[in-house]
Amino acid sequence: MAYVISDACISCGSCAEVCPVSAIAEGDTQYQIDAEACLSCGSCEAACPVSAISEE
């Protein structure tokens, strides 16, 4: 199951830095996860300082 980023995202980029498959990119208002590329490893969730990432 892919991870998703909520509106609580502060666009710090911490999640994108730790994603092993580069499935996270900066969107218009916040970072977004490509669900098809996501490995569901949880690295992004652990790296998020505001707990804006969770499993879908």
In tens, the pLDDT along 1-54 reads: 899 999 999 999 999 999 999 999 999 999 999 999 999 999 999 999 999 999
Domain assignment of residue 17, given as a range: 3-55
* Positions of E strands within the chain: 3-5, 24-26, 31-33, 53-55
How much is the pLDDT for 9?
98
For position 51, which CATH number holds? 3.30.70.20
User: What are the pLDDT digits (tens) for 15-28?
Assistant: 999 999 999 999 99
Measured CA distances, 36 to 13, 18, 32, 55 (Å): 20, 17, 12, 14
Give, rounded to a whole angstrom, the gap between the first and last alpha carbons of the chain.
6
- The domain tally of the chain equals 1
